[in-house]
Structure 1
Amino acid sequence: MSHRVGRTHWRRFATVLVPGVAACATLGIVMGEGALAASFLISGKRFTVTADTLVSRGLSSYGMVDVTKRGELVPVQVVGSRRATISGLCQSVLIDVPVLGPQTLKITGGNERPVEASNLFLDTTFQSAGEADFRNFDMGIAQGEITKGPINPGDRDSRFFDPSGFGQQATSVTLTDVHVTAVALTAGTFNVPGLRVRIEQGRHECS
């Protein structure tokens, strides 16, 4: 039986429920309709995403294991959202280039108008937020029983998906000062107003 909480307010939020919608700035790509399956091999490269504010409607969170091209296993927490709006997005990837040294690929957007996204799935290794406000929040639900938020079709068919495993869900959540480290992203639709992409010499990751 689910335990419903009308409103949960956590100032120091560092658990496994920060929605991955913030990381949709990862490649700055507006994807086509329909969520993509999370069945591809990941590079294993971690990227950083921050956001000023994030509002997610239809939230899910569950454990999975991703596989790299080299066959390495990477434990992750998948966070899904049916629909989300994000303000002040910043995404960065640190790349070591021979001779030139470290280079930072940085992507920003959603400063004047919020980013709008749907059917988002982010595979995370770290999540935090300065403040989180949940509505109708369930913690400890079996992963196979999650209904308020989406389950990636590719994950549901994976040998690493445990229907009886630990899951979380909420009808909505509002986050501020979001910080995420992730290894993969899939999305249905993703619109980024004011998208900017640049490469900077040295280490200039989002903070």
Structure 2
Amino acid sequence: MESVARGGTRWKRFALVMVPSVAATAAIGIGLAQGALAASFSISGQEFKVKADSLAGTNFVQYGSVASGKTLDGKDFAAPVAVSGFKSATITNMCQSVVTPEVPFIGNVSLELRAGTDPKKPVEASNLYLDVSELKADAEFGNIDIGVAAGSLAKKDGDPGIQPGTKANPYGFGQRADTAKLTGVEQKAWATTAGTFKLSGLSLKLHKGVKECF
């Protein structure tokens, strides 16, 4: 009986991993764009990986914060993150993956999402925030300011600043740039939020075992 109970819980968690990747994206995006939702939530206990050929954005900001949530075993945890924000961004050849471990009778199950594989139809996002724990890329910034107090990142109303509801010190270190272009992107993240998120050529697959973007 104990084994059955654990298995049921894990299947529910596995199902919840899929929701924010696809179905909930539109609803959350509309709510954020209209100011109906605070951009703050308890994150899942699973990091996900994102790989892309390029990410090009405008009105870039970056600052330190803390993401909090529960592990798959239900224990509270907090993780330091570097939050990267963009007023608008395009992403080419995006791959997102997350692995759910030890699903009963199956083992590990990987979710793989791809979009923007056609360079002429990239992924498009507005008011994009990425809670990143690790990033590898070649980066080029236009008109960058380094060492700005996080609470002063927005140059004018409507520009990205500290995301409402997040645990960031307004007097902490931050940086901003008019433009940012990252190529050969490989990152680990805890969360992504956006006002709008257009996934051109969306493909979602489930794989038995571990199959990650990198």
Q: TM-score range by the shorter chain?
A: 0.7 to 0.9
Q: Which runs of no fewer than 5 residues in structure 2 stay unpaired?
A: 1-19
- Give the equivalent residue in structure 1 for 2:95: 90
Q: Which runs of no fewer than 5 residues in structure 1 stay unpaired?
A: 1-25
1:53 aligns to what SS in structure 2? strand
- Give the equivalent residue in structure 2 for 1:204: 211
- Give the equivalent residue in structure 1 for 2:53: 52
1:59 aligns to what SS in structure 2? strand
RMSD: 1.6
Distance (Å, rounded) in 2 between the aligned partners of 1:201 and 1:37: 36
CA distances 1:35-84 after superposition (whole Å, capped 9, x unpaired): 65332111121000000111110111111112214432211111111000
Offset of 1:153 from its aligned partner? 1.5
Q: Which of 1 and 2 has greater Rg?
A: 2
User: Structure with the greater relative contact order (CA < 8 A, sep ≥ 6): 1 or 2?
Assistant: 1
Is 2:105 aligned against 1:99?
A: yes
Match of 2:164 among 153, 159, 162: 153
Fraction of identical pairs, as percent: 43
Offset of 1:105 from its aligned partner? 0.1
* Richer in helix (by share): 2
Aligned length: 177
Alignment of 1:3-22 (within 5 A): none
- Give the equivalent residue in structure 2 for 1:32: 30
Distance (Å, rounded) in 2 between the aligned partners of 1:63 and 1:195: 31
2:170 aligns to what SS in structure 1? coil
Distance (Å, rounded) in 2 between the aligned partners of 1:93 and 1:123: 15
Q: TM-score, normalised by structure 1?
A: 0.80
CA distances 1:137-189 after superposition (whole Å, capped 9, x unpaired): 1111111110255121122xxxx321110101111011111011011111100
Is 2:155 aligned against 1:121?
A: no
Contact kept, 8 Å, 1:37 with 1:186, in 2: the verdict is no
Offset of 1:99 from its aligned partner? 2.4
Is 2:80 aligned against 1:75?
A: yes
Q: TM-score, normalised by structure 2?
A: 0.78
